[in-house]
């Protein structure tokens, strides 16, 4: 076969534009492609929701690739081992109740299974704002190319409509921060504001995460490290069971709400 360079370009442009237009009006938008966002996306897609995940970086996986301090292994506790099994991710038992998994296998498998289940991932796109109408509920996302953000270029963004947004942006809880700035102390937290992440304490952080995984503001849900940052709970370092369970939990909440 004779290759036509222009045909290759057209194939890419047409196919991307088709997807991009198709995902301007969706059920759920996930911001952040770390473990919690990927797991949430997998379960929502599996339940047949139209769901897209937007990731600022070139690579998906957030803080999972590097394991602990670049030793590329992650640890999960007994309760979350079933999620590794659901994805078909291998793990070795360590001591009684801990399991160790290869972080590269984890990220690549989460990504592969989630996209195969129907999650649409857009990488290299940053969320810079939300859309709100009269009710002041979060009703959409304002996005731009990460290259525009990095280059500090003065280029207006585009907007998509969605029934729910999940903030899975990790420690920075970026979407909740944007909303807090717009609406003031009206978040569903004790103070109405972002309470801030507390120092490392895996035992408390992992347990609190399940309670913190919820709707933080009408239309805006939190999962993963973003949930602990919003609700003032400890960080937990390279134990990832809570991230997986939190992703599953937020998907369950939304499946119930949107069905
Ligand atoms: O930080 P991250 O991996 O989030 P997570 O799912 O997992 C946390 C763990 O990795 C670790 C931990 C485990 O105990 O504490 O930190 O909560 O992934 C967050 C992703 O969100 C992207 C960011 O590039 C990263 O890949 N992100 C952050 N802000 C934006 C964003 C934004 N405004 N737009 C798009 N993507």
Domain boundaries defined on the chain: 5-62+117-258
225 is annotated as contributing to ligand binding: yes
The predicted pLDDT at position 32 comes to 98
253 labelled binding-site residue: no
Q: Cβ(237) to ligand 1 under 6 A?
A: yes
Distance 187 CA to ligand 1 centre (A): 21
Residue 82 annotated as part of some ligand binding site: no
56 close to ligand 1 (CB < 6 Angstrom): yes
Query: What is residue 74's predicted lDDT score, i.e. its pLDDT?
Result: 97
Per-residue pLDDT reduced to its tens digit, 121-180 = 999 999 999 999 888 999 999 999 999 999 999 999 999 999 999 999 999 999 999 999
Strand partners, 188: none
The per-residue pLDDT for 176 is: 98
Round to whole Å and give the CA distance between 159 and 147. Answer: 17
> How many angstroms does the Cα of residue 169 sit away from the middle of ligand 1?
4
- How many Å apart are CA 213 and CA 23, to the nearest integer? 25
Calculate the CA 128 to chain-centre distance: 15
Determine the pLDDT at residue 212. 98
Ligand 1 atom nearest to 59, measured from its CA: 26
- Classify the complex by whether its ipTM is higher than 0.90, answering yes or no: yes
Q: What are phi and psi of 224, to 5 degrees?
A: 65, -155
Measured by CA distance, the residue closest to atom 16 of ligand 1 is 63
Give yes or no for residue 225 CB within 6 A of ligand 1.
Answer: yes
Q: Name the region of 157 (left: φ>0; alpha: ψ -120 to 50; beta: rest).
A: beta
Round to whole Å and give the CA distance between 223 and 225. 7
Angle ∠(210,216,221) on CA atoms, nearest 5: 70
What pLDDT is recorded for position 105?
98
Tell me the CA end-to-end span of the chain in Å, nearest whole number. 48
Residues of the chain falling short of pLDDT 50: none
Cα 226 to averaged position of ligand 1 atoms, centre (Å) = 8
Is the CB of 234 within 6 Å of ligand 1? no
Instruction: Determine whether the shortest distance from the Cβ of 178 to ligand 1 is under 6 A.
Output: no
CA-to-CA separations, 188 to 18, 137, 140, in angstroms, rounded: 37, 13, 19
Q: What is the CATH number of domain 5-62+117-258?
A: 3.50.50.60
pLDDT of residue 135: 86
């Amino acid at each position: 076969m004779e290759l036509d360079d222009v045909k290759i370009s057209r194939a890419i442009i047409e196919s991307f534009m088709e997807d991009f237009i198709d995902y301007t009006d969706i059920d759920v938008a996930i911001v952040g492609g770390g473990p919690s966002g990927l797991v949430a996306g997998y379960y929502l897609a599996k339940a047949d929701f139209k769901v897209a995940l937007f990731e600022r970086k070139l690579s998906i996986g957030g803080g999972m690739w590097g394991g602990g301090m670049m030793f590329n292994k992650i640890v999960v506790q007994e309760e979350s081992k079933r999620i590794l099994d659901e994805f078909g991710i291998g793990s070795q038992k360590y001591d009684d109740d801990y399991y160790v998994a290869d972080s590269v296998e984890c990220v690549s498998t989460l990504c592969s299974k989630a996209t195969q289940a129907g999650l649409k991932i857009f990488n290299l796109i940053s969320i810079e704002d939300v859309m709100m109408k009269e009710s002041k509920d979060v009703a959409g996302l304002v996005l731009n190319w990460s290259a525009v953000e990095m280059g500090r270029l003065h280029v207006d963004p585009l907007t998509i409509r969605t029934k729910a947004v999940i903030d899975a942006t990790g420690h920075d809880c970026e979407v909740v921060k944007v909303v807090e700035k717009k609406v003031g102390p009206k978040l569903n937290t004790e103070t109405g504001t972002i309470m801030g992440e507390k120092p490392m304490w895996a035992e408390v952080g992992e347990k609190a995460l399940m309670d913190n995984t919820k709707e933080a503001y009408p239309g805006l849900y939190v999962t993963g490290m973003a949930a602990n940052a919003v609700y003032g709970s400890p960080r937990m370092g390279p134990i990832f069971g809570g991230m997986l369970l939190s992703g599953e939990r937020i998907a369950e909440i939304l499946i119930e709400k949107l069905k």
